[in-house]
Amino acid sequence: MAVKREQCDIWFSKAVRLRDGKCLHCHKTDRLECAHIYGRANKRVRWAMSNATALCHACHRYFTSNPIAFHDWLNVELGEAHMDKLRQDRNEIYKTNKLLRKDISDHYRDEVRRKEIDPDYEIQSWN
């Protein structure tokens, strides 16, 4: 079942792609996509910058089809401590509502705009 994309997802994706600026696997800059480490169904980390990386379309498809390779690469790229913390965070039960999703959308829209104005600005995660 597909997970519905809302404005908060669209702005979050833009923020991740802008933060990374290139595919963190092959370093290409075209056709960037937001790749969630833990899928969007995991609401607790769905909009956490620590749960996403920019990948080009080809690398995103490769890792989607090869989750063990993705896991191994993430352990090297982000470190085991990062992955352990993320694993803990994603296990928390988390409910959202329309107002909360609007707050998330507003946050990432503002972060994207700040980064576009100041390339040295570091995008802050919503949570």
Residue 41's pLDDT is 87
pLDDT in the model for residue 94: 83
Which two three-digit tokens encode residue 8? 């908060």
Does 91 or 119 have the greater pLDDT score?
Answer: 119
pLDDT of residue 5: 83
Q: What average pLDDT score do residues 113-127 get?
A: 95
Higher-scoring residue by pLDDT: 41, 127: 41
How confident is the model over 35-62, as a mean pLDDT?
95
Q: How far apart are CA 97 and CA 19, in angstroms?
A: 26
The domain ranges of the chain are 7-115
Q: What rounded mean pLDDT belongs to the chain?
A: 94
Q: What is the 3-state secondary structure (H, E, C) of 52-72?
A: EEEEEHHHHHHHHHCHHHHHH
What is the reported pLDDT for 4? Answer: 73
What is the mean pLDDT of the segment spanning 44-66? 97
The pLDDT assigned to 92 comes to: 84
Averaged pLDDT, 5-29: 96
Give pTM, 2 decimals. Answer: 0.91
Average pLDDT over residues 62-68: 97
The whole-angstrom separation of Cα 89 and Cα 86 is 5
3 has pLDDT over 70: no
